[in-house]
Structure 1
Amino acid sequence: MIINNTTSLPIEKKVDQLYACIHKMIGENDFEIDAFTCDALDNEALNFTTKGIYHLYGFLEAGNEQLPWSIILKVIKPDSEEKDDIQHHNYWRREALLFEYNLLDDLSEYIIAPNIYLVEEQDDGTIWLWMERVNGRFPHSREQFNSIAHRLGMFNAEYLTAAKALPDEIWICRNWLKSWTISSRMYAPNPESYIYKLQDEETKYIWDWFKNLSENTNEMLDSLSQLPRVLAHQDLGQKNMILTSDDQLVFIDWQFLSISGIGEDLGKMFGVNMSLGIIPTDQYETYRESLFYSYIKGMRELGWKGDEGLARYGYCISTALRSVWEVPQLCSLAAELESNPTNAKLQERVYQLKQIINIHKAMDYEAESLKRTSL
């Protein structure tokens, strides 16, 4: 067998596992592989617990046919002591356990997960996840994001209308946003020593608002426990959502799976795609409303008759608390910009962050109003 391995993985020792995976993929025992390639996929920002993601592909001969095949191999690893905690938002073994327990099989008719072929523990402490390569496109238009929000609403409503029962495995995170917020505070820069020396009055005003938010953060997080519970992906960046040619919606990278309050997953989707620059700056408010409208429409179509304000509250809190990471980042970049005022890239990023945080502020204020009427 000819193996073109462009990586440092010892893939040459895994031919038996490869054959087992392809057997599961095609449902056929009698086939041969003469050659295949293993490439590392280009990932700009891997999760702390992901060592690498690889693409294995080639052709197989079955009968008189030559057929293409393709597999994704994800290697996960332990990281820090905190990520050994089964309730940490980034518990390193969670995705492997999801596959081992088949919890994502028959997930929903509205949202599906990739097929998994093999979960394999390695001597070096890593775990290899051999899975389906999903062909499709990432969402980029408002119409596509609205469609995803609509299906997310339908998916969530299944857990609120007795159509589906929530899983009860102890390693599924129950307080995802609280865990993420605590971790973000640990790693975010602290601008306290220089913030009031800045010339940028808008940034100083944002910092004052943020300090008030910080004082109320624990109370906000605790209030989420009053929301109806659903299964949440919690990492719906653009490249974790794939639209296939046969109109299926596939979510990949389930490491952050949690049981969360309604609206939280939608807030993560909205917030992270603003941060990534996927949602255009001049359309933040339009997306904010259209995503929520689509989400509620999906929930109503599945028969949920609950208080819309509860979903809106979860949506607002989840989005607003992203400021725990993004306000310190803004302050740091604003200080850098004052030292380098002609840097166009810095100017653009500071402007973008200010617009994002204006959305955070508006949703924080709305959440406070909703708290008085819906909780």
Structure 2
Amino acid sequence: MPYSDLLLDNRTPLALADKLEQLVDCVRQSLDGVAGELVSATCETLGYATPNFTTAGIYRLHGRWRSGQALLSWSLILKIVKPDSEEKNNPAHHNYWRREPLVFESRLLETLPPVIGSARSYLVEHQPDGTLWLWMEHVQGRYPEAQWEFDAIARRLGSMGGAYAGGKPLPEEPWICREWLRSWVTASRRYAPRPASYLEGPMPDGERRIQSWFESFSRKLDLHLETILRLPRVLAHQDLSQMNMLLRTDMSGDEQLVLIDWQFMSLSGVGEDLGKLYGVNMSLGVIPIEQFEAFGSSLYRSYIAGLREAGWPGDDRLARYGFCLSTAARSVWEVPQYFALAAQRQEAPHDSVVLARMERLARIIEAYMTLAREAERLQVAVAGQLADSVIAKSYN
């Protein structure tokens, strides 16, 4: 047996012993083609609290590789994606299940502007059970925590967006989502909780105010989703949670931003991706409540600086509109979550966990309300630039 001396420690249910040839090839790629043999391999699960519906598992493999007299350490990631509901089998869906494998197979990430790095792809493997195994680089870096780190990321996002908005050809692959925000809003409306008995009964004035605003914003949102399609288009990641952004130092000593998990890749309006970054990191508790406003303002200034550095000469109100609307649209999911918690509180009024979650969501929703009002003003202000007859008619 060619691997009879291999020390294999498999701590997962994967049939890894049947994948040793693939493993050896991927390890060799991770070591830039260094000749040698696999000495040891350990496979363990990487636990994530909120995996994607199309993710069957994420695993880390690591061990030793012998090259001559040297023993080299190696590490890589295996991500397994799977089919889910029928809607996610549509390339137009924001969570099309095959998108990330197609991103890797196309080598599209190698064409990104140099301000953004990505994990190297070693192998995309189609399995008999219909799953896809993605063997990729284990990116070792740190997650952003401080505001200055998020600002640096926002600046790089702006620089990437400015490259595309300024003339870099957009990729044309049909599996890249073209209307990401509309698809996400549609799915959120479909699956968001609706505690009807609570919403139809008496509630505190503050909650009634949120409900009234949300109903008004929801009526206007479809028109906003038409408007945002007319913004300058950029390539977007659309899943910029803290754990999908890694900062590492390259061989020259410069800091590099690496974005992982491109499942939501889209062609989006300028500013949209920044709104997702801001909103999702508020929701996940990464941005402290008392810093919401200052954090958002600083992110936006940094993003605009990146756009300008890339040479984009456009009206920054276009990017501001994309940012404001993308952030405010998250209310489609989070306002229903807030009222679901309110219904729970009615049953358990002293539940400290529910009360704390409600307090945070209330502050987040306040931020959404402020940005939604600004988006409405900007929608009118930039209508002429976007040659949008739909908007013009709606305000006559």
Q: TM-score, normalised by structure 1?
A: 0.98
Per-residue deviation at 1:338?
A: 2.5
Matched letter for residue 315 of structure 1: F
Q: Choose from 163, 168, 173 the match for 1:169.
A: 173
Q: Choose from 97, 121, 130 the match for 1:92.
A: 97
Q: Is the 1:242–1:250 contact (alpha carbons within 8 Å) kept by the matching residues of 2?
A: yes
Per-residue deviation at 1:28?
A: 2.9
Q: Choose from 33, 36, 46 the match for 2:38.
A: 33
**Residue 355 of structure 2 is aligned to residue 347 of structure 1:** yes
Q: Is the 1:196–1:204 contact (alpha carbons within 8 Å) kept by the matching residues of 2?
A: no
Matched letter for residue 197 of structure 1: G
Per-residue deviation at 1:9?
A: 0.6
**Residue 70 of structure 2 is aligned to residue 62 of structure 1:** no
Q: Which residue of 2 is the match for residue 242 of structure 1?
A: 246
Q: Which residue of 2 is the match for residue 3 of structure 1?
A: 8
Q: Which residue of 2 is the match for residue 125 of structure 1?
A: 130
**Residue 210 of structure 2 is aligned to residue 206 of structure 1:** yes
- Distance (whole Å) between structure 2 residues aligned to residue 75 and residue 211 of structure 1: 39
Regions of 4+ moved over 3 Å: none
Q: Which residue of 1 is the match for residue 82 of structure 2?
A: 77
- Distance (whole Å) between structure 2 residues aligned to residue 73 and residue 28 of structure 1: 19
- Distance (whole Å) between structure 1 residues aligned to residue 197 and residue 348 of structure 2: 19
Matched letter for residue 41 of structure 1: L
SS of 2:240's equivalent in the other structure is coil
Q: Is the 2:82–2:132 contact (alpha carbons within 8 Å) kept by the matching residues of 1?
A: yes
Q: Is the 1:156–1:231 contact (alpha carbons within 8 Å) kept by the matching residues of 2?
A: yes
Q: Is the 1:200–1:334 contact (alpha carbons within 8 Å) kept by the matching residues of 2?
A: no
Once the two structures are superposed, residues 335-362 of structure 1 have per-residue CA deviations (whole angstroms, 9 ceiling, x without a partner) of 2112212211111110000000001000
Q: Choose from 367, 379, 384 the match for 1:371.
A: 379
**Residue 198 of structure 2 is aligned to residue 194 of structure 1:** yes
Q: Choose from 181, 184, 187 the match for 1:180.
A: 184
- Distance (whole Å) between structure 2 residues aligned to residue 335 and residue 98 of structure 1: 42
Q: Is the 1:320–1:363 contact (alpha carbons within 8 Å) kept by the matching residues of 2?
A: yes
**Residue 235 of structure 2 is aligned to residue 231 of structure 1:** yes
Once the two structures are superposed, residues 120-160 of structure 1 have per-residue CA deviations (whole angstroms, 9 ceiling, x without a partner) of 00000000000000011000111100110001000100112
SS of 2:337's equivalent in the other structure is helix
Give me the CA root mean square deviation. 1.0
Deviates more, 1:109-118 or 1:189-198: 189-198
Matched letter for residue 80 of structure 2: V
Structure 2, unmatched stretches of 5+, are 1-5, 384-396
Per-residue deviation at 1:99?
A: 0.7
Matched letter for residue 106 of structure 2: Y
- Distance (whole Å) between structure 2 residues aligned to residue 363 and residue 356 of structure 1: 11
Matched letter for residue 236 of structure 2: A
Deviates more, 1:365-374 or 1:258-267: 365-374
Q: Choose from 47, 54, 57 the match for 1:52.
A: 57
Per-residue deviation at 1:29?
A: 5.4
Structure 1, unmatched stretches of 5+, are none
- Give the aligned length: 374
Per-residue deviation at 1:191?
A: 3.0
Once the two structures are superposed, residues 175-216 of structure 1 have per-residue CA deviations (whole angstroms, 9 ceiling, x without a partner) of 000000000111101133321424322112101111111111
Q: Choose from 328, 332, 348 the match for 1:324.
A: 332
Q: Which residue of 2 is the match for residue 43 of structure 1?
A: 48
Q: Is the 2:30–2:76 contact (alpha carbons within 8 Å) kept by the matching residues of 1?
A: no
Q: Which residue of 1 is the match for residue 366 of structure 2?
A: 358
Q: Which residue of 1 is the match for residue 119 of structure 2?
A: 114
- Distance (whole Å) between structure 1 residues aligned to residue 142 and residue 191 of structure 2: 33
Deviates more, 1:263-272 or 1:298-307: 298-307
